[in-house]
Structure formats: C-alpha cells, structure tokens
Structure 1
C-alpha cells in the first residue's frame, strides 16, 4: 500500500448499514486522516439517511470520508431487522460492491465482520483487504472458543443463569453472551461467524 510522494492512497471502507459498524469505520478513517490519504465508506443505500443525519449533526465527523452506496437486493419497504438483509447481501453484495470498486482506483479495502463476501471482491480486483475487528478482544475470544469448539460451553444455552468459564475472562453467564449465539435465535450470524473465526 506504499504510495509515491504526492500520490494519493484511496482506501475503501465497507460496513454493514448499522450504527455499530458505521461509527467505528468513520472513527477509523478520522484517526488515520492525512494528506494524500482518502477514504470512501461504502454501505447499503438504506444507510444513506442515517449517514446524512450524522453528517448534518456533525459536519467534521464525516469530512475525511466520501460516501458510496450500493443496493442490498431487498425491496425498499422490506424490514431489515431480521436475517434477510444478511442473506440478501450474501447473494448480491459482491456484485453490487464491485460496481463501486470498478469505478475507482482503491489501494486497499477494509471491512468489518459479518461481510464475508468483501474479501472475495478485493481478491477479484487484486486489492489487499483487511478486517477491522470492531468489538472488544474479549468478544472475539468468546466467539473463537465457541465456534471452534476449543472450550466446553454449557449444553443448555437457553438457561440464562448457567455459568460459562473461559480462560482469561471473568466468569460469565449465558445471559452475557450475544443473543445470536443462543439456539433459539435461529440467526444467520452463526453461519457468518464461522467465516471469520
């Protein structure tokens, strides 16, 4: 990613359209903002209003970042609170993000967890790709141990009072675990986590 003196480095940041993914990416860009270093944040069209409101509220918040939007493949009136957004992005995310990549010259791509199709886009265009882990390292430790089955978790993850004892972490209860890890959630996040641990 080295650039010659005076040459601009253009970084593509890709985030899911939720505040917990967008804000860390925006802060990341703001912290790294330098002359000759340009950032473009790409997310779905549904996040346009959220980011526009943030830009109006704090003009300097987005100043080092250009915005690009791509369709998520769902009808406008479709609710995005369930897993359908993740399923749709698995199907059309790469194709729609590729249109943004084709129209720019990016030096690298940085993405967040739960967007496993992004590294494939980067590879298709021969662009280096990195993952910005936007959660605490303790969360990653729990995910890794659970999904890679390196530690024993309680059989009944529906009993919220059951304890979970993991190395280097305080004693947890099932209620402390992310809800998508629980069997009753039926969440596609479980499948996505396997792509990242």
Structure 2
C-alpha cells in the first residue's frame, strides 16, 4: 500500500438479522486497529437499524452507507425473501457506483477490501472491477460452510434437483467427527410444507457460493477448538470467533428490533442460576397452538423465565396468551419484545437458554457458559442442535409429539432434566473456556484475526 494511504474495508452483509449482527461485530474490531470501515446495507435494512437504535448507538470509526434495495411499492419490505431476489439484480451496479464515488472523493482512502457475506459471492466481481480485494465472511458454523460447498458438488453431479431435494439416499455425512445431515435437515429446508418459493430462494443462495473461491480469505464466526474436523475441510477458512466476544460495547446499531433493557433489572432480582431464557431469534414463527403449549410449559416448570416475544411471532400476528396466563405467572415471568441477548446470557441469574439454535445464539450461549434447550426451526439450526446435543453435550432437545407439536409436558420435562443434571453446565463451562482462550491473546482465533489485520495494512 502506498505511503500515506489508509486501508479501507467496505462490508456487505446478507440482509438478515443473523448476518448483519456478526459482520458488524467483526467490523468493529477491524476499525479498532485504525482501518476505515464502510458498512453497506440495503435501504430497508438501514431504516430498521435506525428505528431500533438508541441515542447512544454511534461509532465514529464505522461509516454507515446504503444502496437501493430494488423493492417496488407492492413488495413487502419485511420479507427477506424478496430482498434475496432483488439485491443480486440491482446491487452490483449500485455498489460499484458507491465504491467509485468513495474512491474519487478521497484518493487516500480508496476501498482496498470488500468484505462480503459468502452467500453474496457475486459481490466479489464488483470488488475485482474496482480494484479491491474480495474477502468472504461466513456467519454460520464451519460445518455448515463445508456442507454448502459439498452441496454444490452434489448439485453439479445431479444428486440434487433444482429445488435442492435429494435424489439418492437420506443422509449426507462429511466426516465421522461431524454430525450428519438428513434430507429434512439441509440448510434450505423450510418448516412450512409446500412453501416451495422459500425453499427455492434458499437453494439459490446456496448456489451463490460457487464464486466464493474468488476470495482467498473466508473469515468464519467460529473457533478451531469447537469445530476442528470441519475447519480442516476448508483450506481457505480462518476461524476468528466467536465474534460476540470481540467487542465489549454495542455502539453501532445491529438490531432490527428495539431492545428492552428492563429485563436486565428484572434479572437482578432473581437468584443465581435460576432463570430460563427463551428466545427464537428474528425469523421463527409459531402457530397459536404451539405458542399456547410453550407458555403453559414455562408455567408448569415453576421456574422464573425471561421470554422474548417478537410482535409478529404468531405467524406474523400479535401473540395471544392462554387465559389467565399473564396473571398467574406474575413476577415469575418477564416478557419483552427484544432483549440485549449477549448481556442477558452473561447475567449470573441465567440458568439455561431455550433457543432456536441459530449459530449466533449458539455461539453467544456457548461462549457465555449457558446450557441449551434446543428448539430448532429451519436452515442450519438442525445441525447446530446436533452439535449441542450429540457432540458438545451442553444441551437437550425438546422433541415433537406425533402431531408435530412440542407439548407443555415435554417442555416442563426437559427443563427439569437440565436443572437436575449438572453435566450440561460443566460441559458448557469447558466450552466457554475454549472460546475465551481462542479469542484471547495468542489463541487460534486471535492469531487468525491478527494475520488478517496485518494483511490489510500491507
């Protein structure tokens, strides 16, 4: 790099909560090393971040930029599937224009690196056209990433049809040391039968990985100690996580929903290791019957609980609670629309995490030493659940009944089992130590990130 020029990273996330948040955590760490960072969101995503941000949400080290999302007035801006369709058509040119404007306005701070979600690998073409180095970021597990590349081979070989359905066999295995995938647990599997549009769009995202090899660096939100077998399958992968441990602040807005910090004060009133934390992320939806069973299961457990209930959790509609439920649980239960999750999981009163097992939540809970009750919903969550229950043994699966419902009795049973067996907490504490050691000075993730930062400065 020429003398006097400052390295400049332009980051492009997939337009989903679980992708924006970890990439921003990584970018904060990059910016702390004096490297300029411009974070680019589609306009509708940017608007959500601004609406949910507090007055304290600001970071002078990161520039927030936007590009048009290509939505028409008839499109639903809250439907991520629509953005997955429109952005690959409109974003290449608008992103190229943005980079050229940045480069011409300040020649000493030209964009030198485009850091993009690997599923948006078409962004790497834009990087090459503007003279920037393409670098990939992978929010899910290393095992999921390895499976995605294996999927491409299966598709090319004709073992998968155009919608991603398996033609031969029911199970895919990459290694004896990595849990296998069944045909119903692949990353594009959707929970609503007949939702072929969503499944096809997910599969199109998978096929987007075909150009990922244009990037020599794949920065992954995991650490080698948690996934050694999977990491070894990916020669371009550099585990630099868990990224939630990289930053002690939350200065730049990353949430699509406003956080309710009153839950932290409520947690202060509860005994150490007593509270069940319940959250299903930003994408899961439930029938009213299933929500009733969950509410009644939490009540039957007799344990204090903190439950995150998004406004649209009931299949896009406001949640209706069972008759008398709110009065009966009283101060035993706390319900919020969105929680400052990493701070919640760090609170000493939290005993376990009833989770959809998205990879961000999996990393946040594991790195904070919190055992899991697993309630996977779609995409990579099934496999993350297998890591938790079968490999790391730091959690239990909540099973469906014959009608496809997780009953109140099953919920109560698994909460009781988790509280009565200390092995889950002991295993999670060991995993927490591995995560903290990895991102600490001299650890494997620390060294990988240090190597990448040094590379940016050259």
Deviation at 1:118, TM superposition (A): 1.1
Q: Answer yes or no: is the 8 Å Cα contact 2:9–2:36 preserved in 1.
A: yes
Deviation at 1:30, TM superposition (A): 1.2
Q: CA separation in 1, counterparts of 2:25 and 2:127? A: 22
Whether 1:166 and 2:174 are equivalent positions in the alignment is: yes
Q: Which has the higher contact order (CA 8 A, sep 6+)?
A: 1
Question: Residues 68 and 30 of structure 1: is their aligned pair in 2 closer, same or farther, counting only changes over 3 Å?
Answer: same
5 Å matches for 1:98-177? 98-104=96-102, 105-149=110-154, 162-167=170-175, 168-177=177-186
Q: Which runs of 5+ in 1 are unaligned?
A: none
- CA offsets 1:14-68 (integer angstroms, 9 cap, x no match): 11321112111110111222353111101100012222245427626x4532100
1:29 aligns to what SS in structure 2?
A: helix
Deviation at 1:85, TM superposition (A): 2.1
Q: Answer yes or no: is the 8 Å Cα contact 1:163–1:173 preserved in 2.
A: yes
2:120 aligns to what SS in structure 1?
A: coil
- CA offsets 1:79-129 (integer angstroms, 9 cap, x no match): 252643223222211111122111112121110023233112111111111
Deviates more, 1:116-125 or 1:174-183: 174-183
- CA offsets 1:133-183 (integer angstroms, 9 cap, x no match): 12110101221222212999799958xxx5443323123333432234899
Cα RMSD between the aligned structures?
3.3
Q: Answer yes or no: is the 8 Å Cα contact 1:74–1:85 preserved in 2.
A: yes
Q: Answer yes or no: is the 8 Å Cα contact 1:93–1:117 preserved in 2.
A: no
Deviates more, 1:145-154 or 1:164-173: 145-154
State the TM-score, normalized to the length of structure 1.
Answer: 0.79
1:196 aligns to what SS in structure 2?
A: helix
Q: CA separation in 2, counterparts of 1:115 and 1:187? A: 16
5 Å matches for 1:28-47? 28-34=26-32, 36-47=34-45
Whether 1:74 and 2:75 are equivalent positions in the alignment is: no
Question: Residues 137 and 114 of structure 1: is their aligned pair in 2 closer, same or farther, counting only changes over 3 Å?
Answer: same
Q: Answer yes or no: is the 8 Å Cα contact 2:115–2:136 preserved in 1.
A: yes
Give 1 or 2 for the bigger CA radius of gyration. Answer: 2
Question: Residues 153 and 16 of structure 1: is their aligned pair in 2 closer, same or farther, counting only changes over 3 Å?
Answer: same
Q: CA separation in 1, counterparts of 2:62 and 2:202? A: 28
Residue-pair matches, total: 191
Q: 90, 93, 106: which one pairs with 1:92?
A: 90
Deviates more, 1:80-89 or 1:125-134: 80-89
Deviation at 1:72, TM superposition (A): 1.5
Residue of structure 2 equivalent to 1:179: 188
